[in-house]
Structure 1
Amino acid sequence: MKRYFLTLLGLILSLSSFAQSFNVLAYEPGKKLTWQDFKGRPKPSDAHKGAEITVSIFLKVKETSFWSGGVTYDAYAVAFKDESWVKPAYRDDYSLKHEQLHFDIAHLYAETLEIELNSLDRKTLKQKDQVEKMLQDKIALMQAHQDRYDRETYGGNNYAKQKKWSNKIAKALKIINTEAEV
């Protein structure tokens, strides 16, 4: 339920200045999370977890062409600091790297959404309900990927699987963060 609410909040919040007042951290390639980014407290239902980062995707209009009416979107991953937490016994580098991969996965989905949106024709881009549906669908896919990551790594407790996921995400980040040469 909490994730559904935060996903809905991610859809509503689109201006970064507005988002800042909600203690939201925007993903920046090359910048890693620190435990200071985790300001929330675990709920009683989180007794079996050591840490959790809550992420989503924000979308905003980057540019609208005066002449053609074309719209360019900017999609980016965010972490909700007040909804992300860590228990004292888990404040270690290994756990932080596990949570960083959750943020990295969100970034990958945000970047692919941005590419998909900006590849659409102008008519489709102007249809806000179509853009909103694409955003909702991408967030749902991202959440399913996040759940699979935790399931396969047992929340980071399966070190061999964690290493495989780390390598897979690192490779994907390298591809998506590489500037295309023109």
Structure 2
Amino acid sequence: MKRAFLILFAVLLSLSGFAQDYNTLAYEPGKKLTWKDFQGKPKHSDAHKGAEITVSIFLKIKDTSFWSGRITYDAYAVAFKDESWVRPAYKEAYTLGHEQLHFDIAHLYAEMLEVKLNSLDAKTTKDKAEVERILKEHLADMQKFQDKYDRETNGGNNYKQQKRWENKIARALGIISTPVEV
């Protein structure tokens, strides 16, 4: 089975140069995963799986208003290279496409989290405990969605459902990448 595993791990970072220091790959729209991004090794408990990508969301402070103290955040999806792996027999485009969709889903959830956090009032954006609570809740929701994706596609083995999910996620990615005139 080709199932993704989500680490419920997120870090509040306020400096740039964030992701690569943690052997992570930051999501870049339009850039696809390659098998070189899968540098980990499967555990004995993963005997029934062909590949796995480990993803999460990182959060950093983008800006702090001088006048109000309101904080704006940048949320982005990451894949952990050392935690992501593939068995040689599964190194083909279809499996990589399934794992890419897990990364795409993490990106969608990162975008939704960023919108949610940046729509909070100034007082709440400065409340670290509240921001962490929202982040944890959001990560739990994302995990449920990732699990649903794997369940409905049978880890990518149900080709009809895999295609349906590909179309569903492509539409969502199209919506968030549509420029908005202001």
Give the TM-score of the pair, scaled to structure 2.
0.93
Structure scoring higher RCO (CA < 8 A, sep ≥ 6) equals 2
Contact 2:13–2:61, Cα closer than 8 Å, also in 1: no
Aligned residue pairs total 178
Counterpart for residue 87 of structure 1: 87
Instruction: Give the Cα separation in 2 of the matches to 1:173 and 1:15.
Output: 27
Instruction: Give the Cα separation in 1 of the matches to 2:61 and 2:14.
Output: 9
Specify the code of the residue in structure 2 equivalent to 1:157: N
Within 5 Å, give how 1:23-172 maps onto structure 2. Answer: 23-172=23-172
Contact 2:12–2:59, Cα closer than 8 Å, also in 1: no
RMSD of aligned alpha carbons: 1.5
Contact 2:57–2:77, Cα closer than 8 Å, also in 1: yes
Identity level (%): 70
Specify the code of the residue in structure 2 equivalent to 1:162: Q
The 1:152–1:15 alpha-carbon spacing in structure 2 relative to 1, beyond 3 Å, is farther
Instruction: Give the Cα separation in 1 of the matches to 2:13 and 2:46.
Output: 26
Q: Which structure 2 segments of 5+ residues have no match? A: none
Within 5 Å, give how 1:5-16 maps onto structure 2. Answer: 6-8=7-9, 10-11=10-11, 15=15
Instruction: Give the Cα separation in 2 of the matches to 1:116 and 1:65.
Output: 18
| More divergent stretch after superposition (64-73 vs 27-36) | 64-73
The 1:150–1:174 alpha-carbon spacing in structure 2 relative to 1, beyond 3 Å, is same
Counterpart for residue 178 of structure 1: 178
Secondary structure at the counterpart of residue 100 of structure 1:
helix
The 1:32–1:149 alpha-carbon spacing in structure 2 relative to 1, beyond 3 Å, is same
Give the TM-score of the pair, scaled to structure 1.
0.93
Contact 2:14–2:62, Cα closer than 8 Å, also in 1: no
Secondary structure at the counterpart of residue 48 of structure 2:
coil
Instruction: Give the Cα separation in 1 of the matches to 2:164 and 2:152.
Output: 10
Q: CA deviation at 1:19?
A: 3.3
Structure 1 residue ranges (4+ consecutive) displaced by more than 4 angstroms after TM superposition: 12-16
> Residue deviations 1:155-181, cap 9 Å, x none?
100000000000000000000121211
Instruction: Give the Cα separation in 2 of the matches to 1:169 and 1:81.
Output: 23
Secondary structure at the counterpart of residue 56 of structure 1:
strand
